Amino acid sequence: MAFIKLIEHSSRRGVATHPYPEKPFEVDELYRGKPVLDASACIGCGACANACPAETIKVETDYGKGVRRWTIYYGRCIFCARCQEVCPVNAIELSREFELAAKNREDLTVVAEFKLGSCAKCKGYLDVSIRHVELAQKLLERSEIANIMQELARYMVMCLKCKRSFFVEKLGEATRG
Amino acid sequence: MAILAKMLPQSTSVEKLGEEVKRRIFGTLKRSLYVLRVDTGSCNGCEIEIFAALSPLYDVERFGIRLVISPRHADALLVTGPVTRQYRAVLERVYRMTPDPKVVIAIGACACGGGVWYNSFAVEGGIDQVIPVDVYVPGCPPHPVAILQGILVALDVLKQKIEKVSYREEKPEEEWKLRPPLALLFERETLVKISWELYRDIMRTARKYLGYLYGVQLVKDYFALLSEVRTLGELREASKKIVEAWNRDPRIAQVVEELNKLVEKHFAQKH
Ligand code: SF4
Ligand code: SF4
Ligand code: SF4
């Protein structure tokens, strides 16, 4: 007769099953779902790519096209929010989106391209995006040691090669006289 | 009978969806969809969520989907894990043993692309390196509802929600904008002109005690306050409002106190 008890119990409790997909499923407020990039804020610095434990975010420099390319493949993401933690401009945040099933790999990717700046000396491509340089300049203006940093600010708009040769030149000057 | 009627699901559209599932599955198979769960070296996190999806709370079986224990009986494979080298041959065999037509659903970050082990010597790095995959369900582990959605997407009952996003910067000068809290550094006139160093120290202190989520939230609140007050005394008074807004949490009070001290120190240095 145990099942009578069961019927009684379940009639009291009603239906426990969530009526998904008829009604959307509400996850917790702090649920860590799909990381969403705000492409209009990202500077392409690559801090998130460094921090990502699954290395699913990649940031690479394409000198051929002159862009800094930010890519993510959600399939490998473990929703740890380390990218959100390290982003200096808070451009990436984890949303509450969790219904991510996709039929092919391509649908799980996001690609964002940012233009590279140009080198003040050789006019070639800089190794960082225009936005990155702009942010650095903006922050340097607000720095307490802005006057000391003036000299260094010139390096900011130089590519790696020019920076090196400039440095060696300076070093030569210093040692000669 | 009234009691029994109460126990039945109330919604009709789920019923309709069930009908749709049935029609699609029965059309090809003439019976329920049988699912085999294949674990190719997962950490068991995904298994726990699959079993949660089978529990009464989410209940995959209301769509007529059942678990079986032999590939010969299966129509769909729910594969988890990054495919360890040992398991590669087994997975291939399981795939061959499963009668056609079959659906392969990759569950979890490991199955979708190797997860955090994608470049380890001991794993193949994802199911699709070994057998063709029909549906990817990301997550580590995926939510039971996400697994449910994955299965329904595989059966073409639900539409896939996610799609590829591409962004290309055209005019770098106009398109770029700062987001808070960094934006607040440039927008507002504040009591103390917030230098980059002060911003950094405030951010660092808040995040040291509260972590990345609440820390950044508190910094946003604190900056809003800084732009309102005129003197340091006012700042002390007004900062009580923040503590008030954060449920009078003594820990928040302590952190706000630390931030106040930082600003005061900064103020003293300037004058
Ligand atoms: S850390 Fe932030 S700004 Fe840098 S590349 Fe990642 S999302 Fe963009
Ligand atoms: S949430 Fe974690 S795994 Fe996902 S992209 Fe961000 S850092 Fe990488
Ligand atoms: S995706 Fe995450 S939870 Fe699932 S098996 Fe891999 S590590 Fe475990």
pLDDT, tens digit, for every residue of B18-47? 677 767 766 666 677 899 999 999 999 999
Q: How far is A170 from chain B (nearest CA, A)?
A: 29
User: HSE (CB half, 13 Å, CA atoms) of B117?
Assistant: 21
Ligand 3: does its nearest atom lie under 6 Å from the Cβ of B76? no
Ligand 1: does its nearest atom lie under 6 Å from the Cβ of A42? yes
For A8, the closest chain B residue by CA position comes to B3
Asked if residue A63 is part of any domain, the answer here is: yes
DSSP string, B137-202: E--SSPPHHHHHHHHHHHTTSSPP----EEEE-S-HHHH----TTTTHHHH---SS---HHHHHHH
> Which of B49, B162, B177, B267 has the most A C-beta neighbours within 10 Å, making it the best mutation to test the interface with A?
B162
Domain count, chain A: 1
Ligand 1: does its nearest atom lie under 6 Å from the Cβ of A44? yes
Tens of pLDDT along chain A (177 residues) come to 778 888 888 888 888 888 888 888 889 998 999 999 999 999 999 999 999 999 999 999 999 999 999 999 999 999 999 999 999 999 999 999 999 999 989 999 999 999 998 998 888 898 899 999 999 888 888 888 878 777 777 788 888 889 899 889 889 988 886
Read off the pLDDT of residues B225-250 as tens digits, 9 standing for 90 and up: 887 887 888 888 888 888 998 888 89
Cα–Cα dist A63/B218, whole Å: 40
Whether B206 has a pLDDT exceeding 90, the answer reads yes
Q: From the CA of A37, which ligand is nearest?
A: 1
Asked if residue A159 is part of any domain, the answer here is: yes
CATH number of the domain where residue A81 is located: 3.30.70.20
For B266, the closest chain A residue by CA position comes to A144
Residue-range definition of the domain harbouring residue A38: 27-176
Q: How far is B142 from chain A (nearest CA, A)?
A: 8
In this complex, the residue of A15, A41, A67 whose CB is nearest that of residue B7 is A15
Angle at B112 between CA B108 and CA B113, to 5 degrees: 120
Ligand 3: does its nearest atom lie under 6 Å from the Cβ of B42? yes
Ligand 3: does its nearest atom lie under 6 Å from the Cβ of B154? no
Asked if residue A93 is part of any domain, the answer here is: yes
Asked if residue A18 is part of any domain, the answer here is: no
Contact assessment for residue B60 and residue B191, using Cβ atoms and an 8 Å cutoff: no
- The model's pTM is 0.86
Asked if residue A126 is part of any domain, the answer here is: yes
> Which of A55, A100, A148 has the most B C-beta neighbours within 10 Å, making it the best mutation to test the interface with B?
A100
Contact A74 B59 (CB under 8 A): no
Q: From the CA of A57, which ligand is nearest?
A: 2
Place of tokens 């490998």: A76
What does the buried/exposed string (b/e) look like for A68-80 if buried means 16 or more CB atoms within 10 Å of the residue's CB?
A: bbbbbbbbbbbbb
Whether B12 has a pLDDT exceeding 60, the answer reads no
ipTM above 0.95, yes or no: no
Cα–Cα dist B107/B151, whole Å: 10
